[in-house]
Amino acid sequence: MPMNAAAAAPSSGGDPAAGSVLLRMEGITKAFPGVVANDKISLELRAGEVLALVGENGAGKSTLMKILYGLYRPDSGEILVRDRTTRIAGPRDAISQGIGMVHQHFMLIPPFTVLENIVLGSETSRLGVLSYAKPRAAAAKLIELNNLHIDLGASVEHLPVGLQQQVEILKILYRGAEILIFDEPTAVLTPQESDELFKTFRQMRAQGKGIIFISHKLDEVLDIADRITVIRRGKVIRTLDRAEATKPLIAELMVGKPVILNVDNPRLPPGPAVLEVDKLGFVNAEGVAALRDVSFRVRSGEIYGIAGVEGNGQSELIRAIAYRTRISGGSVRLLGADLSGLDVRSRRELGLAHIPEDRHKFGLLLSFSLADNFILGSHYKKPFVSVLRTQVRRQIAENARRLIAQFDVRAPSEQTPAHALSGGNQQKVIIAREMSAKPRLLLANQPTRGVDVGATEFIYKQLVEAKKNGAAVLLVSADLDEVMSLSDRIGVMFKGSIIKEFERESATKEEVGFYMMGEKAR
Amino acid sequence: MKRFNRYALYEVMAPLVGFAASMALLMLIVVAVGENPGNAVDAIWKMTFATSTRTATVLSTSVPLFLAGLAVAFAFRANIFNIGVEGQYFIGGLVGAMAGIYVPLPAFLHIPFVVLAAMIGGALWAAIPAALKVGRGIHEVITTIMFNNIALALVNYLVNGPMSGLGATGSLEPQTRHILPTALFANIDWLFRAAGWNVPDSVYLDYSLPVAVLAGVLVWFILFRLRIGFDLRAVGTSTDVSLYAGIKVAKVQLGAFLFSGALAGLVGLQEIFAVRGYYTFQIASGLGFDGIAIALIGRNSPVGVAFAALLFAFLRQAGYGLQFFTKVPNSVISVITGLMILIIVVSNELVSRYIKALRKKEAM
């Protein structure tokens, strides 16, 4: 309640006593047509703490943060910044209240320098001429204070992702943020870069800032958070102190039932090579060699995991196998057949199945029914078409009902459009479709991205199931834990090449992480 | 199932509410012009549904509008923005007329022959933009607009030059020779009379009406029953997903574009073969653009397009009514038509968002 409204001005910027409440959200409710995204959510953030916000996808974390940042207006409830009721109508208000947000997708202008990006929107000028002297000095001080490692003169487009994120942090610190929101900041980072980020967190925490940290990675949450707020279906389930929090407890609170993340994944005697990639090269439209001399084999009955920081050629590799006909050198063979001349349909006929990295962009026709999505890719074949090339509705519906039951897709009916489903269930639809084709080679590109713990476990089991059925599985994931726990063999990609292969038994997270950074490349 | 019907009800309600709102707006304008709203309603009624002649006229007017909307909608389904329906029906009509003027055939063959010729003409005129789109990635909006102008210039030249029928017909208006009687579209008012609807033969309810109905059914069947229709709608929804599923995106888009052109070729049939009996570059223009609005309101479904075409025909007649019987200028109808498109499209969108949210809730 705004009782002591006469207290110090919110933007005084002075060092607040550690532990004083920076931010309080009380009874925040936000309903969208038909869905209550936030249901009387209350939380508080103290000065000098990292508050982790965890919950499944669609639990309401992003909505809550968008309300805090002024992108949504709550239906009811109050936001108090330093005990003063505040109306946040837009990001501008949020920033003036000392609230800053590092988005999952960076809001930077690539050709601009770091300094230009930092002053963007709050430029200082004299007689209309931009002046950089003061901002430069201020930014340099912030860099020193916060364990950042950026060159203010570098253009952003040439910086690696980890440093771009630092630019984002610097940007909001420059605007005087005391409350910093991080929306899944480690999703794009290597373990080493994540460690650097957490060092910065600790520095900021020591300065009395409050950090809200959204993450799906429970290890990180336990590593850095002081308190952990668990949200499920739009409600705060519980806020835990670090001391009482354990991984199984958080996972259980998140999904409402205990989950086992350990999948029984036995090593099988490998069969013959299914996928053979030999000296594959690819030069993209910009003339950059996205793939260079990539060679590896994936055998029947094994999962081959590609570890690597995103953007090191993984997507290009998958595309070359999945559909691209033009390559710059080398060869890709599936069961002995050269893929370079084959269109997608022929590749699928050979036994290729594909769980694409972006299910909305590549995997599902969102406005189509589940039944239609289930037949995609085999929709031209019997039993889904008659001799007259008309569609056989009954078979299509039956197929859908069977897969919905078999893969435990939570949907009202097979006629429900795909967009109505949650992320995890959408992914299940894709996996059901691809698995039902009985693949010889399964490409799984970021198969658990943005899905909840329960669905993740299910997906892991399906990948292992495919391997047990004799398929060769090629797994690409930005989540190193995922690659480590599922793969029989691991290839590390760096700058378009596989620079190192590990057997499952001999791989350690640290070692793989070093190769991901390219540390041992030369 | 009950749920499903509720969604369908909402979807039907949206355009109706939009229509009612635009009519209310129209009445406001009528009052502002200083006319009695009662008179205006009466005038509209007189020109649209007062007599079976007027109602038949609305139906007749809707035929080319429906075909134009259908052509645009079919391309839309494959995510192709065919602005070129305009040019395609000028050329389609020309090729159809050539088949009607220069190729002597018995009537039972001649009618289907000219229909086919018109479709081929429309498809041919769509072929170059289609090839440029699929092969070179040149946006169809640009090329088809260009091709509309080229088509107009071409038919202007042909009708004034090589195909001129001035000497043969004795007309002072530039036009081709007369179409052979075997190819002319006869009235089918007898059919309506047999069904108990007393339609005068002065209204053009001719072979183009069953052609339009057949075209609508064919489009529905292709889109929702044939496998190629599934491909087409998949491509229209997401080329990326389609590509990953092994659908030949380029081929599908090429086919959809050509067939859209073929449908466009049918737009001019009524005027050329039933009303005029010859071809001229002065046949009604602008139908291609009406078709875009009609497809939009009709949500690219054959049934929706049919209702939207009837709505446009109604508005056109209503405009004449206001002009004849009140002091409200006809152009007010253009304003209202524009507003109505906007209101209906917005209410369609709002309803589909609402349904989306409801479905999401239901699935959770």
Per-residue pLDDT of chain A (522 residues; tens, 9 = 90+): 343 433 333 443 444 455 789 999 999 998 865 467 899 999 999 999 999 998 876 678 888 998 999 888 999 999 999 989 999 988 888 988 999 999 877 888 888 889 888 888 777 777 777 778 888 898 999 988 888 888 888 888 888 888 889 999 999 999 889 999 998 888 778 778 888 999 999 999 999 999 999 987 788 899 999 999 999 878 899 999 999 998 878 877 876 655 445 678 888 888 999 999 999 999 877 677 889 999 999 999 999 999 887 778 898 999 999 988 788 899 999 999 999 889 999 999 999 999 998 888 889 999 999 999 999 988 888 889 888 888 888 999 999 999 999 988 888 889 989 988 877 889 999 999 999 989 999 999 988 876 777 788 889 999 999 999 999 999 998 777 788 889 999 999 988 999 999 998 898 877 887 788 776 544
**CB nearest to A35's CB, from B238, B241, B357:** B357
Can you tell me the ipTM of this complex? Answer: 0.78
Can you give the C-alpha Rg of chain A in angstroms? 25
A456 and A489 within one domain: yes
Residue A144 lies in a domain: no
Same domain, A335 and A442: yes
Rounded to whole angstroms, the Cα distance separating A489 from A301 reads 12
Distance between CA B200 and CA B221 in Å, rounded?
A: 33
pLDDT value of position A4: 42
Say if residue A185 is in the same domain as residue A236.
yes
Q: In this complex, which of A33, A354, A411 lies closest to B244 when CB atoms are compared? A: A354
- Give the mean pLDDT of chain B: 91
Give the pLDDT of residue A57.
Answer: 63
Interface contact B172, partner A, CB < 8 A: no
- β-pair partners for A36: A31
Distances (CA, A) of A439 to A36, A226, A343, A374, A444: 40, 46, 17, 15, 12
Residues 6+ apart with CB under 8 A from A184: A104, A214, A215, A216
Closest by CA position to A482, among listed A503, A506, A457: A457
Distances (CA, A) of A458 to A268, A427, A450, A469: 20, 10, 14, 16
Q: Is the pLDDT of residue B93 over 90?
A: yes
Residue A9 domain-assigned (yes or no): no
- Best probe of the A interface among B1, B11, B232, B241, by most A CBs < 10 A, is B241
| Rounded Cα gap, residues A379 and A369, in angstroms | 14
A342 and A245 assigned to the same domain: no
| A64 and A186 inside one domain | yes
Q: Mention every residue, 6+ apart, whose C-beta is less than 8 A from residue A442.
A: A353, A354, A355, A434, A435, A463, A466, A471, A472, A473, A474
Between the CA of residue A64 and those of A71, A75, A76, A214, A222, what are the distances in Å? 10, 12, 12, 11, 22
Statement: residue B364 has pLDDT above 60: yes
CB-CB contact of A404 with A370 (8 Å): yes
d(CA B352, CA B358): 10
Is residue A473 one of the residues assigned to a domain?
A: yes
Q: Choose among A455, A460, A375, A380: nearest CA to A418.
A: A375
Look at residue A161 in the predicted model and tell me its pLDDT.
Answer: 81
CA-to-CA distance for B28 and B17, rounded, in angstroms? 17
Q: How far is CA A32 from CA A63, A337, A369, B325, in A?
A: 10, 51, 23, 49
- In our burial notation (b when 16+ CB lie closer than 10 A, e otherwise), range B199-217 reads beeebbbbbbbebbeebbe
What pLDDT shows up at residue B301?
93
CA quadruple B334, B337, B342, B343: dihedral, nearest 10: 140
Q: Of the spans A121-125, A146-150, B173-177, B253-257, which averages the highest pLDDT?
A: B253-257
Confidence band, pLDDT 50/70/90 cuts, at residue B11: confident
Taking the CB of residue B113, how many other CB atoms lie within 10 A of it? Answer: 18
Give the C-alpha separation, B69 to B303, whole Å.
11
Say if residues A403 and A462 touch (Cβ distance below 8 Å).
no
Contacts of A384 in chain B (CB under 8 A): 227
Interface mutation target, options A339, A342, A362, chain B, most CBs of B under 10 Å? A362
Tell me if chain A has a CB within 8 Å of the CB of B238: yes
Q: What percentage of chain A's residues is helix, strand, coil (to nearest 5)? A: 35, 25, 40
With tokens 């995922």, the residue in question is: A482
Q: Is the dihedral of CA A257, A258, A263, A264 positive or negative?
A: negative
pLDDT grade, residue B179 (50/70/90)?
A: very high
Find all residues with CB under 8 Å of A489, minimum gap 6, and list them: A302, A303, A304, A305, A501, A502, A503, A504
- Phi (first) and psi of residue B4, to 5 degrees: -55, -45
- What six digits make up the tokens of A44? 């508080």
Beta strands across the sheet bearing A329-334: A289-299, A273-283, A329-334, A337-338
**Scanning every residue of chain A, which has its alpha carbon at the shortest distance from the alpha carbon of B243?**
A344
DSSP 8-state symbol, A506: G
CB of B355 less than 8 A from some CB of A: no
Q: Provide, as residue numbers in chain B, all residues whose Cβ is less than 8 Å from the Cβ of A363.
A: 241, 244
DSSP state at residue B176: B
Please, are residues A189 and A197 in contact by the beta-carbon 8 Å criterion?
A: yes
SS3 (DSSP) at B165: coil
Structural contact between residues A93 and A87, judged by C-beta atoms closer than 8 angstroms = yes
Give the three-class secondary structure for B163: coil
What are the distances in angstroms from CA A350 to CA A109, A440, A444? 44, 8, 17
Examine residue A135 and say whether the peptide bond preceding it is cis (omega within 30 degrees of 0). Answer: no
Listed residue (B322, B343, B347) closest to B332, CA to CA: B322
Give the chain B residue nearest A382 (alpha carbons).
B227
Q: Which of B209, B358, B145 is nearest to A35 (CA)?
A: B358
pLDDT confidence band for B304 (50 / 70 / 90): very high
Helices (H), B132-201: 140-160, 166-169, 189-194
Note whether residue A279 is domain-resident: yes
Interface touch B359/A410, C-beta < 8 Å: no
Q: How many domains does chain A have?
A: 2
pLDDT category of residue B7 using cuts at 50, 70 and 90: confident
More confident of the two residues B87 and A311: B87
Tokens representing A357? 């990295």
Q: How confident is the model at residue B62 (pLDDT cuts 50, 70, 90)?
A: very high
**Bridge partners of A332?**
A277
Angstroms from B208 CA to nearest CA on chain A: 28
Instruction: Grade residue B117 by pLDDT with cuts at 50, 70 and 90.
Output: very high
- Within a domain: residue A29? yes
Cα dihedral: B60, B61, B66, B71 (round 10): 120
Q: Which long-range contacts (CB under 8 A, 24 or more apart) does A131-140 make?
A: A135/A174, A138/A174, A139/A114, A139/A115, A139/A170, A139/A174
User: Are A33 and B245 an interchain contact pair (Cβ–Cβ within 8 Å)?
Assistant: no
Give the chain A residue nearest B354 (alpha carbons). A33
Q: Is A323 close to B360, i.e. CB distance below 8 A?
A: no
Residues A54 and A180 in one domain: yes
Identify the domain boundary among A186, A221, A255: A255
Token code pair at residue A455: 């669905």
- pLDDT higher at B295 or B8: B295
Q: Which of B230, B243, B362 sits opposite A420 (nearest CB)?
A: B362
Please check whether residues A342 and A442 belong to one and the same domain. Answer: yes
Say whether residue B251 is in contact with chain A using an 8 A CB cutoff. Answer: no
Q: Which residues contact B6 (CB under 8 A, 6 or more apart)?
A: none
* Type of residue at B160: N
Confidence at B358, pLDDT banded by 50, 70, 90? confident
Same domain, A94 and A180: yes
Give phi and psi for A38, each to the nearest 5.
-125, 125
| Residue A92: half-sphere exposure toward Cβ, Cα within 13 Å | 4
B137 at the A interface (CB within 8 A)?
A: no
- Which region holds residue A245: left if phi is over 0, alpha if psi is between -120 and 50, else beta? beta
On whether any CB of chain A is under 8 Å from the CB of B353, the answer is yes
- Positive or negative CA dihedral for B2, B4, B6, B8? negative
Contacts of B162 (CB under 8 A, 6+ apart): none
In a shared domain, residues A196 and A286: no
Same domain? A291 vs A347: yes
Is B248 within 8 Å of chain A by CB? yes
Q: Is A323 found in the same domain as A226?
A: no
- Inter-chain residue contact A322 with B360, CB threshold 8 Å: no
Is the model's pLDDT at B68 over the cut of 80?
yes
Which of A34, A363, A415 minimises the CB distance to B360?
Answer: A34
CATH number at residue A317: 3.40.50.300
Least confident among A211-215, B69-73, B255-259:
A211-215
Chain A: residue nearest B224 by CA? A391
Euclidean distance between CA atoms B309 and B315, whole angstroms:
10
CB A447 within 8 A of CB A475: yes
**Phi, psi (deg, nearest 5) at residue A264:** -70, 110
Residues of A in contact with B241 (CB under 8 A): 361-365, 376
Task: For residues B334 and B289, give the distance between their C-alpha atoms in angstroms, rounded to a whole number.
Answer: 13
A227-232: strand order across its sheet: A99-102, A179-183, A210-214, A49-54, A227-232, A235-241
Of A111, A82, A250, nearest to A179 by C-alpha is: A82
| Domain with A317 in it | 273-351+438-516
Count how many residues are written for chain B: 364
Please write the tens of the pLDDT for every residue from B192-246: 888 888 888 888 999 999 999 999 999 999 999 998 999 999 999 998 899 888 8
Contact between residue A501 and residue A297 where contact means Cβ atoms under 8 Å apart? no
Chain A residues in contact with chain B using a Cβ-Cβ cutoff of 8 Å: 32-35, 322-323, 343-345, 347-348, 354, 356, 361-368, 372, 376-377, 379-380, 384-385, 389-391, 410-412, 415-417, 419-422, 425
Residues A450 and A489 in one domain: yes
Q: Name the DSSP class of A17.
A: P
Task: Answer yes or no: is A109 within a domain.
Answer: no
